[in-house]
Structure 1
Amino acid sequence: MTRVAAPACIALCLLGISSALAQGYPSKPIRLIAPYPPGGGIDASARIIGQALTEQLGQQVIVENRAGATGRIGTEFVAKAPADGYTLLLGSGAPNAVIPSVTPNLPYDAINDFAPISLVGTTDYTLVVHPSLPARSVKELIALAKANPEKLTYGSSGTLSNTHLAGELLKQLANVNIIHVAYKGTGPALVSVLTGETAVSFGGGPAAAPHVNAKRLRALATTGSKRRASGLPTISETLPGYDVNQWYGVLAPAGTPRAVLERLHKEIVRAIANPKIAQLFTNLDTDATSNTQEEFSALIRSEIEKWRKVIKAAAIPLT
């Protein structure tokens, strides 16, 4: 065999193996790792897409919670799993973009250790304040913060969480100094505003809505690039360029056969297009969303770069 023919032969053999794997895939149950505890948005989204794939693929997709270290434990588990399509990750912004943007020596490479397949959903946060705060718009909140530097506080679900960075981006674009207070979860952060311990927070729509409706909190705006069903203005209407959301998507270990990735992508897109599945996401105040593998990969890269700049500008201690 010539030196030119050998690589071509190897490539054809690998292509044949990949095609054969895809034709018989899946032949056993699939694990979908949710790297957070049961009960949250990531867990709920994993169960929605897992059940849809179970019905479409004819094999059970088992959601397995491997929580800890802000999603790092479950994410690392998938990064080191066999690249055969039987262990998948329901990824999100914190472990797949924010933490990798600033954390050296992570046990996984957010870009090279994963094969992004598709988004499944995106959701925004709601900027809420204590009713006693004399601010009824983002513009008024900014004016209040400028008139009272370092006197206002905002609660987040933890250091380097999406709600923490949502506040830091607002501070940078508005050139104000609102003091960050980290809590262990979005629930405690919302409670801090309800009790007046902090003045401001970013809450998930479903969690904040009952308190807003009961006038225990005042909603000022949402964090995404476009208005949601609530009709609240977006922060970007006052601060152009502001855009913060939580995204959920399915990833496989790097090296998973292309044909398997394409099969999974096809089935995820099919599931997201199902009105019943879309409604289940809507019930979570989440937009059912799919995209191409290339688009998902580009999103992760752009998110890593975006948050690296925000975190550097905020001089957040990385301890």
Structure 2
Amino acid sequence: MTLHRRAVLAGLVPLGARTALAQGEPWPAPGRPITIVVAWAPGGSTDFVGRVVAQQLSKEIGGNVVVDNRPGASGTVGHASVARARPDGYTLLLGVNSTYAMSRHLFPQRGYDDERAFAPIGRIAVSPIFLCVTPKLGTPTIAAFIARAKSMPGKLSYGSSGAGSSAHLATELFLRSAGITVQNVTYRGGAPAVQALIAGEVEMAFVDAVTALPLMASGQIAAIGVSTPERNPLAPDVPTIAESGLPGFQATSDFALLAPAGTPEPIIHQLSAGLAATMQNPEVLGRLRQGSIFPTFGTPEEFPAYLATESAKWGEVIRSRGIILE
């Protein structure tokens, strides 16, 4: 255990114990479930992270933690429901940076303020995004793809699921960094966009790791770069975009656990300690790693600075690229 993680656990409520609140009621109360709202449909990476974390967190805090999927409006429906929830520790949110850091610049009337509506419990993990091309294009490297795009400006296309997703904004950051023009073809969801890439209807797409890895292995798509600062251990031969001529490039799907603002500090502390222990559990780490999701645990105190940096970065990308809702 690192010094940082020991500090999170030290001096807090013992794991598995119940917090005694000022009004004398223990938390979590026996038999009362704690709900983690996932603002996306079942089956995706966010849902997967939520269920893996919920199962172990139940053991760490001595309560029953369950997942409730509330999708809609790029995640803002689920976020809004938690922002309105009673701050008693029984309703939590598994947030993703595409919603808590990006959507504010696209949905100004979403009905809540990310800084004021939520109390951070901690960051959980990140998932890389692969820059993929159709093998038919014959561009095995990022340099080759950029050269092809510059030789035929506006003739190549990329698939996306619409404005505001992590993959879409990663694409726009890449195009800006590379100084190339590639046309956006919007599909009704990430799966149809990937199918379009497989079929050769579009030449490029950013694809989340859990989807991309099996398609890369079967040769249906070719990954020419990964969005993280380090290479993905599950695909070590794929270079990072940063090392391929675009230094500093980084775009990931980030997961964090949040609570409604006003949740009592003892509950936040117990949840943070439980989350720290969860993210050190070998079984949890193994299951997440199989989905190419890697821990980046952070404390509640560290989250505001991270959120400010992430929001500023993507707000600038959205403004500079003129991205609007479709």
- Normalised by the length of structure 2, the TM-score is 0.89
Pick the aligned partner of 2:268 from 233, 258, 261. 261
1:51 aligns with 2:31: no
Instruction: Report the Cα offset of residue 57 of structure 1.
Output: 1.9
Distance 2:246 2:63 in 1: 47
Q: 1:18 to 1:149 in 2, by over 3 A?
A: farther
Instruction: Report the Cα offset of residue 114 of structure 1.
Output: 0.5
- 1:171-208 Cα distance to aligned partner (Å, 9 max, x none): 11111111112222221111111111100011122312
Q: Tell me if structure 1 keeps the 8 A contact 2:227–2:250.
A: yes
Task: Please state whether the residue corresponding to 1:265 is helix, strand or coil.
Answer: helix
Q: 1:300 to 1:81 in 2, by over 3 A?
A: same
Q: Tell me if structure 2 keeps the 8 A contact 1:22–1:260.
A: no
Pick the aligned partner of 1:84 from 83, 88, 97. 88
Instruction: Report the Cα offset of residue 301 of structure 1.
Output: 1.6
Distance 1:244 1:147 in 2: 26
Distance 1:36 1:255 in 2: 25
Q: Tell me if structure 1 keeps the 8 A contact 2:106–2:164.
A: no
Runs of 4+ with >2 A deviation: 17-23
Pick the aligned partner of 1:307 from 310, 314, 318. 314
- 1:70-97 Cα distance to aligned partner (Å, 9 max, x none): 1111100000101111100000012211
1:234 aligns with 2:236: no
Distance 1:22 1:139 in 2: 64
Distance 1:159 1:317 in 2: 7
Match for residue 288 of structure 1? 295
- 1:115-165 Cα distance to aligned partner (Å, 9 max, x none): 111112111111111111121111111111111100111112221111111
Instruction: Report the Cα offset of residue 214 of structure 1.
Output: 2.1
Q: Tell me if structure 2 keeps the 8 A contact 1:164–1:182.
A: no
Distance 1:227 1:21 in 2: 50
Q: How many residues align structurally? A: 303
Q: 1:95 to 1:206 in 2, by over 3 A?
A: closer
Task: Please state whether the residue corresponding to 2:270 is helix, strand or coil.
Answer: helix
Match for residue 122 of structure 1? 126
Match for residue 325 of structure 2? 318
1:251 aligns with 2:255: no
Match for residue 218 of structure 1? 222
Task: Please state whether the residue corresponding to 2:22 is helix, strand or coil.
Answer: helix
Match for residue 24 of structure 1? 26
Q: 1:219 to 1:24 in 2, by over 3 A?
A: same
- Which has more radius of gyration? 1
In structure 1, the gaps of 5 or more residues are 1-16
Instruction: Report the Cα offset of residue 21 of structure 1.
Output: 6.3
Q: 1:287 to 1:23 in 2, by over 3 A?
A: farther
Cα RMSD, aligned residues only: 1.6
1:38 aligns with 2:42: yes
Give the aligned residue type for 2:37.
I
Q: Tell me if structure 1 keeps the 8 A contact 2:20–2:27.
A: no
Task: Please state whether the residue corresponding to 1:132 is helix, strand or coil.
Answer: helix
Task: Please state whether the residue corresponding to 1:88 is helix, strand or coil.
Answer: strand
Q: 1:269 to 1:148 in 2, by over 3 A?
A: same
Give the aligned residue type for 1:93.
N
Match for residue 12 of structure 1? none
Distance 1:108 1:21 in 2: 29
Q: 1:140 to 1:26 in 2, by over 3 A?
A: same
Instruction: Report the Cα offset of residue 292 of structure 1.
Output: 1.1
Distance 2:118 2:171 in 1: 29
Q: Tell me if structure 1 keeps the 8 A contact 2:162–2:187.
A: yes
Match for residue 186 of structure 1? 190
Distance 1:119 1:259 in 2: 18
Instruction: Report the Cα offset of residue 22 of structure 1.
Output: 9.3
